[in-house]
Structure 1
Amino acid sequence: MSMNVFSRWLARFLPEDQYGIDDVSGINKRYKKFRTNLLTTMLTISLLPAIITAAIGYFQYRDLLQTTEREQLLWNLEGAQKTMQALINELHSSIEFIVREDRCDEILDQDTLDGMLIRLKLKYNGFVDLGVIDSRGIQLTYSGPYKLKGYNYRVQEWFEHVRGRGFYISNVFLGYRNIPHFVIAVSKKRPDSEDHWVLRATINADTLQEFISTINTKASDDIFLVSRTGKLQTSSRYFGNAMEYCPICETSSHLHEIFKLERGMGDVLQVSAPLENTPWMLVLVKEKYIHQAAWFSFRKRLLLIFLGCSATCLVISYSLANMLTNRIRETDEKRQSLLTEAEHSNKLASIGRLAAGVAHEINNPLAIIDQKSGLMQDLLGLTEEFKYKEKFYTSIAGIQNSVGRCKAITHRLLGFARRMDVILEEIKLNELIQEVLNFLEKEAMYNRIRMELGFQADLPTIYCDRGQLQQIFLNIINNAIDAIGKDGLIAISTRLQGNDVLVRIKDSGPGIPPNILQHIFDPFFTTKAPGKGTGLGLSITYGLVKKLGGEITVSSEVGKGATFEIRLPVKPDKSAERDNNERNQSINR
């Protein structure tokens, strides 16, 4: 069942048999369709594995880069988190050093507090002011650029937080000064009572930006601090300046969360981690791996390799498709040629049998005429001289010459019917063609047909049959004259090509249509008017060329004339030469 399906598919795939089809354009379309189908099939078979392999490599490498990118980004986040935490802890330690429990009364002194602020500014330029606040929320002592002594912080949210936990860092806010800053507050218990006191330090938000800048790394494209509610504490490359709202950052409440952000510049990877004892999240953002040099380089190489493979497959498939199509076409043409030649041979055999019968019937009377004329010549030699004796001799010689000519004609006619002996001799082909042209010179002049000769001067002599060569060229040139009619040109050229001599005869006639061209060597096939041709000339010519070991081909375009090419071996094959030598030896004996 499967074999039958495959056979039917193969029959539709291969071009149809062209034997007996005269439509050349239809044949060309069938082979063009076959070439296209074959090329499509070969490209599909060759490119499909390449496409699958490229797709697998693409996605596998993408996943590998994505995993590596995430691991690298998380590793950088941990390092940045530790650095930032150390800086914050250092700020905390600096404040803790000031607020030892035994220094409450000391720092209430204005000069002492001013000195502490100066020392802190020397270490961290971002410190703005210091204030000591009692348990009622009233600022007892203040060191800074503003008049905040006596200010009551009782209702501030941060005041309750610092009293409850002992340490507090606020989010960045504008406050009284309308400048972004944040507060660090530390609460301590007085040693002589149960009351608490608070040291409040105000620091510009630029300090955080400086901290972030010190840990900025090429491993990430953006690093910033954000509050738990999504408000930026430092500037961000992608989301704006400090105090602006970051819509996607408020969800970053767990360590090592990875987000994919759909933005105009493409997807990005974001990781975040909380900073201990602060309300802040440290966030690292990196443009996704597709924006990295490794990914670009891989895609470029993969594309180049795929295009290279595709181009190679295309060239090889196209070459193979053309080669296979041409081979199949050549095989079909050879098969058609063999079938045509077989059909041609059958026709020639039938005509040969008819020609043989006619030749034998003519040879019998000719033999009698030849015999009687010889007897008459002998008897005439025995008689005495008389007035018309020489005239009788001349007449008898004319009879014998005519008989010889008739024998030669019947000999050629029998040659069409059966293989006759080829008499090999050295022949100068250029001179032989000139002899044939001399014979047709008057007819060509009468029809105003010009002969253009292009003979190779050093053309070697060939071993061939003179009479049969004369008949070959006589038939072809005579047909060219008939085809031209009046006012035309016949170009004849000879040249050596390998071990063969090539004779090309081109006329300026009307040309031969393709449907007639393939039947031109068929017996009795003629396009001449009834009574003006038998259709045997080119058939006999074809048979003679084959018998001499040569090849004859014809090409033509309608309106551009026809060209006959006769290829003859310089020397016959050994078997023909041996037969000829044996025949000559038998004649000599």
Structure 2
Amino acid sequence: MNIKGIFKPEFWDADPKSAGPYKQLFDYKRIWQLCIGILVAVSLVPILIMASIDFSVTRGAIISENTLEAARTTSNTRRSVSYFLEERKSALQLLVEMHDFRSFHDPEKLGEMLSSLKKSFGGFIDLGVINKAGKQVAYVGPYNLEGREYAGQDWFEQTVEQGIYISEVFLGFRDSPHLVIALKHMLDEKTNHFKILRATLDTKQFNGILSSLVLSAGEDVFLVNREGILQTPSKWNGEIFSKIGFELPEESFRTKVEQISYRKGAPAMVGYAYLENTPFVLLYVKTEAEYMGGWQSSRDTVTWFTIISIAVIILVMWAVASYLVDRIYIADMTRSKALQQMEHHNRMASIGRLAAGVAHEINNPLAIINEKAGLLKDLFTFSKAYDADERVIGLVDSVIGSVERCGRITKRLLGFSRQTDMEFRPVYPRKVIDTVLSFLDKEAEYRCIDVSVDVDDGIYEVVTDRGKLEQVLLNLINNAFQAMKDGGALWIRVERGDEGQVLFSVKDNGCGIPESDLKRIFEPFYSTKKQSGGTGLGLSITYGLVQDLGGEMKVQSQLGKGTEFSFMLPVVPNINGES
């Protein structure tokens, strides 16, 4: 089956409802569609289901893995930031516990404490002592802040109320990002006498905790306050004090991971934790393109491979189903054609038997007529009453001649109808042609068809089956008569071919055969004369008879100019493998 036959097999245009004695048994197009549907369902549906499950499971595993990684990174960073702040708060508490608060009023002593904090921890800028009234009574640092009033400020009120205060990152009059840690220390609980130790820290070490993390291009870690204002620089949200571009998740002092829309609606994963007793919220953001990128690339590769594989599978199933159903269709049509050809042969055999019977029955009265006519002639001959009447003797001779002619016709009918089994005998091509033409000489005479027979010198006899050769020539000459108009010409030629072969040709000047039909004229049931009663079996049977005789048939034709059928027969056929 060629490529065209795969995509449009023979059964495609067949009509399952077509009438006829041997119409097709099944709707082969429907069978083909069912085959394709079943093959696709059985082979592709499990593949697609498994691919869908694998897609879902793999995606879920990657999301779960990255969720755990985000939670782990967020938790570790939260502990680092909390430890940083807790460490400095504890250092201040230790100073308060180890020293009498009255020594904090000594600038030298307070300076030594600040120097010690810078050496031990780093990041401290200044220290100040504020009394109960909110006045800074002692200060050591780069600015002149001694005597500054803080009463009524939020941080002072919160420190008084809660005992400790950690501020957001802010600029203040220093015009530099910093944060404040303040501790309340009770001097006398009965009189509620207390003082506050206030320390200012820069954000270099604070920011260093986050910048030291090893992050990929699609990850970002930063701190914000409870209003979503950046407290540390962010890769995508900008510098300190910028507003982040998404809503903060709900408050939770435990690490959580959620999915959010980030950066122009792009999906992302955010790990977050609110730092207890601080205004800070730690955010870890990882874009979906980052954590799903590798999987998406592999998914695209697998998807394309799957699509190509499915296309190849469907193409193969299409081809296999087309081939198998087409073979069944051809077998069904061959069965139908064989039955119809068998019926034709049976009909021809019946006609042959009928012709033999008719010829036999006609021979009997012909014999009586011939006998009586001969007796009349004898009587007329020996009777002197009719001796001189030549007209009467001529009538009797005419009757006897007609009887002999009828006898020859019936003899030919009997000879033609009795050729059943293959029997190779020497025959004379000229005599065979004359015998066949005797059946058609009246039609040729009536239609003024000029029949020319040319047999090369030296061709005397051919060992072949006479009956089959007669049938081949009769079919070809009869087809030529049908193709010609009245007054046409027919040429029958016998000549020497290759060594040990004889070439027979029958040529007419009729209508010719279209080039598109030449390749199919020997196919059974293919006919260009179906509307006029053609069965499409004549040339097919003729072609088979020539092959039975060990020959090969060819055809040449030009539309409107005529057709020539030729076949080559061996002078002595190869019987049982011997020449």
Partner of 2:247: 248
CA contact (8 A) 2:513 2:557 kept: no
Shift of 1:314: 0.5
Partner of 1:188: 185
Q: Does 1:413 align with 2:412?
A: no
Shift of 1:45: 4.4
CA 1:98 to 1:211, structure 2 compared with 1: closer, same or farther past 3 Å? same
Q: Does 1:78 align with 2:81?
A: no
CA contact (8 A) 1:102 1:191 kept: no
Instruction: Give the Cα separation in 2 of the matches to 1:83 and 1:561.
Output: 104
> Cα deviations across residues 358-416 of structure 1 (Å, max 9, x unaligned)?
4436777999999xxxxxxxxxxxxxxxxxxxxxxxxxxxxxxx99997984454224x
Partner of 1:397: none
SS of alignment partner, residue 173 of structure 2: coil
Identify the match of residue 141 of structure 1 among 138, 142, 149: 138
Partner of 1:306: 306
CA contact (8 A) 2:522 2:539 kept: no
CA contact (8 A) 2:512 2:557 kept: no
SS of alignment partner, residue 172 of structure 1: coil
CA contact (8 A) 2:360 2:410 kept: no
Shift of 1:250: 5.4
Instruction: Give the Cα separation in 2 of the matches to 1:123 and 1:353.
Output: 131
Instruction: Give the Cα separation in 2 of the matches to 1:228 and 1:547.
Output: 104
Q: Does 1:509 align with 2:479?
A: no
CA contact (8 A) 2:22 2:340 kept: no
Query: What TM-score do you get using the length of structure 2 for normalisation?
Result: 0.65
For residues 107-126 of structure 1, what are the structure 2 equivalents within 5 Å? Answer: 107-114=104-111, 116-117=113-114, 120-121=117-118, 126=123
Shift of 1:51: 2.3
For residues 348-387 of structure 1, what are the structure 2 equivalents within 5 Å? Answer: 348-360=348-360
CA contact (8 A) 1:488 1:509 kept: no
CA contact (8 A) 2:163 2:183 kept: yes
For residues 413-492 of structure 1, what are the structure 2 equivalents within 5 Å? Answer: 413-415=416-418, 419-424=419-424, 464-465=464-465, 468-469=468-469, 472=472, 475-476=475-476, 479-480=479-480, 483=483
Instruction: Give the Cα separation in 2 of the matches to 1:463 and 1:177.
Output: 129
Q: Does 1:130 align with 2:133?
A: no
Instruction: Give the Cα separation in 1 of the matches to 2:296 and 2:425.
Output: 79
SS of alignment partner, residue 169 of structure 2: coil
Instruction: Give the Cα separation in 2 of the matches to 1:484 and 1:406.
Output: 26
Instruction: Give the Cα separation in 1 of the matches to 2:273 and 2:490.
Output: 100
Identify the match of residue 92 of structure 2 among 95, 110, 117: 95
Provide structure 2 residue ranges, at least 5 long, that are not aligned to the other structure.
1-13, 371-404, 438-443, 452-461
Shift of 1:111: 4.3
Partner of 2:6: none
RMSD across aligned positions (CA): 5.8
Q: What is the identity, as a one-letter code, of the residue corresponding to 1:339? A: L
CA contact (8 A) 1:84 1:211 kept: yes
Q: What is the identity, as a one-letter code, of the residue corresponding to 1:141? A: A
Partner of 1:292: 292
Partner of 2:231: 233
Query: What TM-score do you get using the length of structure 1 for normalisation?
Result: 0.64
Shift of 1:350: 3.1
CA contact (8 A) 2:259 2:269 kept: yes
Q: Does 1:279 align with 2:276?
A: no
Q: Which deviates the most, 290-299 or 336-345? A: 290-299
> Cα deviations across residues 127-155 of structure 1 (Å, max 9, x unaligned)?
43322222322112333343322111121
Shift of 1:309: 4.0
CA 1:74 to 1:467, structure 2 compared with 1: closer, same or farther past 3 Å? same
CA 1:424 to 1:78, structure 2 compared with 1: closer, same or farther past 3 Å? same
Instruction: Give the Cα separation in 2 of the matches to 1:340 and 1:255.
Output: 90
CA contact (8 A) 1:252 1:281 kept: no
CA 1:540 to 1:266, structure 2 compared with 1: closer, same or farther past 3 Å? closer
Shift of 1:322: 0.9
CA 1:325 to 1:222, structure 2 compared with 1: closer, same or farther past 3 Å? same
Partner of 1:338: 338
Instruction: Give the Cα separation in 1 of the matches to 2:121 and 2:491.
Output: 110
SS of alignment partner, residue 256 of structure 2: coil
CA 1:541 to 1:510, structure 2 compared with 1: closer, same or farther past 3 Å? closer
Instruction: Give the Cα separation in 2 of the matches to 1:489 and 1:167.
Output: 128
Q: Which deviates the most, 348-357 or 506-515? A: 506-515
Partner of 1:67: 64
> Cα deviations across residues 5-59 of structure 1 (Å, max 9, x unaligned)?
xxxxxxxxx9615452999xxx9xx766764564345434433332222222222
CA contact (8 A) 2:231 2:241 kept: yes
CA 1:565 to 1:220, structure 2 compared with 1: closer, same or farther past 3 Å? farther
Instruction: Give the Cα separation in 2 of the matches to 1:364 and 1:549.
Output: 40
CA 1:83 to 1:40, structure 2 compared with 1: closer, same or farther past 3 Å? same
CA 1:248 to 1:242, structure 2 compared with 1: closer, same or farther past 3 Å? same
SS of alignment partner, residue 261 of structure 2: coil
Partner of 1:259: 258
Q: Which deviates the most, 172-181 or 185-194? A: 185-194
Shift of 1:327: 1.8
Runs of 4+ off more than 6 Å:
191-194, 362-370, 402-408, 446-449, 484-490, 502-508, 512-518, 549-573
Instruction: Give the Cα separation in 2 of the matches to 1:63 and 1:117.
Output: 53
CA contact (8 A) 1:506 1:561 kept: yes
Q: What is the identity, as a one-letter code, of the residue corresponding to 1:306? A: T
> Cα deviations across residues 516-574 of structure 1 (Å, max 9, x unaligned)?
9865799x99959xxxx9x9976984784587599999999999998989899997786
CA 1:91 to 1:339, structure 2 compared with 1: closer, same or farther past 3 Å? same
SS of alignment partner, residue 208 of structure 2: helix
Q: What is the identity, as a one-letter code, of the residue corresponding to 2:36? A: L
Q: What is the identity, as a one-letter code, of the residue corresponding to 2:282? A: L
Q: What is the identity, as a one-letter code, of the residue corresponding to 2:306? A: F
Instruction: Give the Cα separation in 1 of the matches to 2:213 and 2:330.
Output: 77
> Cα deviations across residues 441-480 of structure 1 (Å, max 9, x unaligned)?
xx9xx9999xxxxxxxxxxxx9843663365257437735
SS of alignment partner, residue 199 of structure 1: strand
Instruction: Give the Cα separation in 2 of the matches to 1:474 and 1:350.
Output: 18
CA contact (8 A) 1:212 1:224 kept: yes
Q: Which deviates the most, 320-329 or 99-108? A: 99-108
Shift of 1:223: 1.6
CA contact (8 A) 1:521 1:538 kept: no
